[in-house]
Amino acid sequence: MSTENPIPQSSGPHPGYGQPHPQYAPPAAKPRRPFFRPADGRMIGGVCAAVADYFGWDRTAVRLLTVASVFLPGPQVIAYLVLWAAVPDEHKFWSRNPVVPPAPPA
């Protein structure tokens, strides 16, 4: 019987323990999309336009779904009013976040 250990011994649980992997680079952070009520294209408070722009949906479809949801039981009107008060206006948003605003969608 051989007394040799087939597993090589290292200073840690694996070779290179505690050192960064040479081929690994952490992913770059994605920029946060702005969420604000736009100045152009509002119907009432701009909440539907804000939601549609944020998710890349059609504004008319979001508005129609919002109106249709009013006929279902639930707090839709309260949610709309809360978003109207909580989501900043486009001008206030860009004055607080001095970054070049993106080009308007085509």
Asked whether residue 53 is domain-assigned, the answer is: yes
pLDDT in tens, 87-98: 888 877 777 776
pLDDT in tens, 12-32: 556 666 666 567 677 777 777
pTM of the complete model: 0.58
pLDDT in tens, 21-73: 567 677 777 777 788 888 888 888 899 999 999 999 999 999 999 999 989 99
Asked whether residue 30 is domain-assigned, the answer is: no
Asked whether residue 70 is domain-assigned, the answer is: yes
Q: Can you give the pLDDT at residue 18?
A: 63
Asked whether residue 1 is domain-assigned, the answer is: no
The DSSP output letter for 40 is S
**Which of 65-94 are b and which e, b meaning 16 or more Cβ less than 10 Å from the residue's Cβ?**
ebeeeeeeeeeeeeebeebeeebbbbeebb
| ∠ CA 26-32-38, rounded to 5° | 165
Domain interval for residue 52: 47-96
Asked whether residue 3 is domain-assigned, the answer is: no
Q: Residue 37: beta bridge partners?
A: 89
Asked whether residue 17 is domain-assigned, the answer is: no
Count structural domains, the chain.
1
pLDDT confidence tier of residue 2, bands split at 50, 70 and 90: low
Asked whether residue 20 is domain-assigned, the answer is: no
